[in-house]
Structure 1
């Protein structure tokens, strides 16, 4: 069969070979197929393959404009070899079709084409006809790239976000220079009191603060470090550590120096305080996400300690346990799986039960017995303390109501309910107690709200309004753990407080410590001057009970009298000690 050269495209096609290495070919009976190629809306070309050689048969205008018109005949473009390699490979195989993406460097940047290769039926000789099409996907790829950039970066600071941070770390680990025995570290930074800036100056000021902090942190980075904003007011730094801990400490100092000077927002200067937690990899095979979680666990400890914290073994397990407790506690509160235990408050001169302190107890089928110290701390951290506090108030009032029904008349006892400072700040506590009293039918003077000194110090004016509202309900107010905080005596005198509870740290060992005896005497004298009742916590021996009674303490509480007990046992305990005469 004779192969005759022919015109490939429009009349203004260049003279000479438009694509180096390709021979233009004219095959018989091609008129119809050439019309098909011309009708395809995307770039298309018909190729002929025989004896290992490719030649060009026909192209449409789109193909000509896209690939041939601007072709540099003096150079050998990379995509030329890519076409040749893929077409020859497909033609020599049994496959009927193939697809791939072609990328080339165009006049305005990288261009992307979605290419297909398919064999057409040809019966005239042993050669094969191949149809090549290319769909321009450049705009799609640019859009995808922009969307991906938005997904992986923080719109406010232009730093990588949490997902982008992970990808940056993986890229550095895979492609960066890493000397032998080198490590990487994650430094987590939490801006303290950031919410107060938003509340007092507005969200625009908060955004400006974040942008300024990001710029300062970026200025403290070394070459190769990565800074990211991984949360609302949380930043993180990935860093290569050739000298282990010493490098990490050096970076932390640079961060502290960068944030050391105040930041001016409008007419206000703000000093940025932050909590910093660090975690170091054991080797380069460590999971980066795991190291980030360890750094975040360390920063939570730093927020409590006020110091830079380095992750230690077990911290992540503690964080995972706190998460489990939070999840299970949420379920337990929804399903009513918690109970109240009642520890008696004893009138020391007579030995009678004056009331009970209600204490939450939790027995979980998966976690077992969970200590109140543990789950209350988790509740305060997670915000569940509001729901927990409401449950305790309602249940304590209902317990009094059930005791009254069993006895046939109101018992001469009350119940003390602990209030968390966080609940006082976030919840409508007065409304909560009003509902508890109304639903139970119990008089207000039989409920005592126990508050801590820290709850008053945090917001004295708000605390004062709350205590006044509780007094309007005829409730009693007790200051718990007195002596361990920083109460101002003037404010103590002005607050409507009825009872001081001496902390067990002063009581339990006071007989062996003259200083603690002096502290207890001082508190008793202060209470007498202010006309307040006093309850001593942590009484564990008869000797302690008699000593406190002799010193003039009116009420006591502790294991010497009874441990916290279920509701039914507490009622029986009161009946057994009713009109009891001696301690």
Structure 2
């Protein structure tokens, strides 16, 4: 067969006369209306409106099966019947050409949904106006949508509402529940302690089993109308209606504690579940539920530190928001070199010479301004940023000594003390960190002193012992900071490679006015002498204190009486001036 190009396809000339289909046109009498309706894929029917009644003149079999004429028009299902008939009546009496609406009705297997459309058919003197009703079954689509929505709003593990679903449940309860006068609602946030240890030790399957069991127990402690949700990995929350304010919330907390009091069996182990609980109460029903949830989460963070149930108080959320801002900005500052080290001199109390400096982190942020070390170090420990912060401080302190040596022309007879956080000691390879810092800077290990706290040693004595001996292999001196505030026993102190005890400022600063503290200082000095340890006194702010400690035989001191912490250049100039003076 010879093919013909589309470009050369013969085209016939069209007529300018209108084709059939003008206003007076009707369906060909060769095709009956019922045949047209049967050919339509939708549920279809032709309706008339006479004497304020809706009549079904013709319909296909699909329509007859889904919308039984007898059932609908006789009112066997009056709710559904009246709904679609009323919509048709409104359409007839309007001037609209077409309309659509969704119809929901109860079927044998549950709710059924139909998308209905209405349109006007042509009319003339011999034919009254008729109406075409079509309906498309959307039950499957709505069921899929419902299932997807349920998945989006619920936790797949516990089947509880998730964070988003929790918010919708709260909105629904507030809007559709009859509340007595002066009623309020509360949010109780629950954080499972040490949950990560279960995952690490027993595996994620055991962790999932623990969460499911906890969810069941928490659910058993609820009252009617309360809502339980899993809003995070190991975080749960309860929405509670409070007719009696805080007393109702505390009653629920007590029920929660009782529900979690007995151990949970996982494999062959009995796991005791500890949790931190924080509560936030609304002032009235118009309060934003999301805001109350955030306040409860802020309270539970405090509960994790205090070990007690915490009730949100004004200002806590602002504190939490500031901690979040500090964490975010601190992360950027560590990446971009936004922090600096200040150096406070350590003074030999018998000779007055500078024996070294303590390195102290300082931070001035463009948005936050000056941030106190007490504030940003606490946030760093909470967020895990203490590890990069500690590494930066160790490297920077070692490099500072290297730069000072270059200015002086030879190694200076001073060292720098670097503080170690207990969290950094637990999480980081501290020995390798110091080894790298010394190697990169080219300074000897005896010039970098590691300051550790009693709490770091008590938390994990075996790990702390290995670390301290590893530091001694680098020839680094080790100082125990804040000595006297912890619970170290003499046996462990004697067995550890400690070189220096630093008496906490809380004992030193008021020892002249408080006889008991003076006795404590003398006892520490006597203990150190018997163990062949050196002692540094912190917080020396007056000449009288310095003289008294000198008379007691204290080796070294630091405090505002001698100098505040200063920049790297100022610290070098301060040492150089004192060194020149002392060697003349």
Q: Give TM-score scaled by structure 2 length.
A: 0.90
Deviations 1:12-47 (A, max 9, x none): xxxxxxxxxxxxxx9995936544432222322233
CA distance in 1, matches of 2:292, 2:102: 37
Change (3 A) 1:124 1:469: farther
Which secondary structure does the structure 2 equivalent of 1:31 belong to? coil
CA distance in 2, matches of 1:580, 1:93: 104
CA distance in 2, matches of 1:357, 1:257: 49
Structure 2 counterpart of 1:205: 206
Q: Which deviates the most, 42-51 or 401-410?
A: 42-51
CA distance in 2, matches of 1:261, 1:76: 53
Change (3 A) 1:377 1:125: farther
Instruction: Say if 2:305 is the partner of 1:317.
Output: no
Structure 2 counterpart of 1:106: 107
CA contact (8 A) 2:75 2:81 kept: no
Structure 1 counterpart of 2:404: 403
CA shift for structure 1 position 54: 3.7
CA contact (8 A) 1:227 1:236 kept: yes
CA distance in 1, matches of 2:30, 2:54: 17
CA shift for structure 1 position 524: 1.6
Instruction: Say if 2:44 is the partner of 1:44.
Output: yes
Deviations 1:375-398 (A, max 9, x none): 111111111111211221221122
Which secondary structure does the structure 1 equivalent of 2:67 belong to? helix
RMSD of aligned Cα (Å): 2.3
Structure 2 counterpart of 1:469: 470
Change (3 A) 1:118 1:475: farther
Which secondary structure does the structure 2 equivalent of 1:512 belong to? coil
Structure 2 counterpart of 1:68: 68
CA distance in 2, matches of 1:97, 1:461: 82
Q: Which deviates the most, 385-394 or 561-570?
A: 385-394
Q: Which deviates the most, 33-42 or 395-404?
A: 33-42
CA shift for structure 1 position 350: 1.3
Deviations 1:486-523 (A, max 9, x none): 22322222222222111111111111112112211222
Change (3 A) 1:517 1:421: same
Deviations 1:248-302 (A, max 9, x none): 2222222222222333333322332222111111111111111111111111111
CA contact (8 A) 2:71 2:77 kept: no
Structure 1 counterpart of 2:6: none
CA shift for structure 1 position 123: 4.9
CA contact (8 A) 1:389 1:423 kept: yes
Structure 2 counterpart of 1:23: none
CA contact (8 A) 1:50 1:127 kept: no
Which secondary structure does the structure 2 equivalent of 1:37 belong to? helix
Alignment of 1:25-424 (within 5 A): 29=29, 31=31, 34-49=34-49, 53-68=53-68, 71=71, 75-123=76-124, 127-424=128-425
Instruction: Say if 2:525 is the partner of 1:524.
Output: yes
CA shift for structure 1 position 71: 4.4
Deviations 1:358-384 (A, max 9, x none): 111111121111111111111111111
CA shift for structure 1 position 51: 7.2
Alignment of 1:419-498 (within 5 A): 419-498=420-499
Structure 2 counterpart of 1:574: 575
CA distance in 2, matches of 1:581, 1:525: 30
Q: Which deviates the most, 555-564 or 518-527?
A: 518-527
CA distance in 1, matches of 2:581, 2:228: 69
Structure 1 unaligned segments of length 5 or more: list them. 1-25
CA contact (8 A) 1:358 1:396 kept: yes
CA distance in 2, matches of 1:359, 1:239: 47
Which secondary structure does the structure 1 equivalent of 2:319 belong to? helix
Q: Which deviates the most, 398-407 or 68-77?
A: 68-77
Q: Which deviates the most, 128-137 or 541-550?
A: 128-137
CA contact (8 A) 1:279 1:310 kept: yes
CA contact (8 A) 1:352 1:580 kept: no
Which secondary structure does the structure 1 equivalent of 2:512 belong to? helix
Q: Which deviates the most, 342-351 or 461-470?
A: 461-470
CA shift for structure 1 position 110: 0.7
CA distance in 1, matches of 2:30, 2:548: 116
CA distance in 2, matches of 1:286, 1:126: 61
CA distance in 2, matches of 1:577, 1:168: 70
CA shift for structure 1 position 426: 1.8
CA distance in 2, matches of 1:376, 1:446: 25
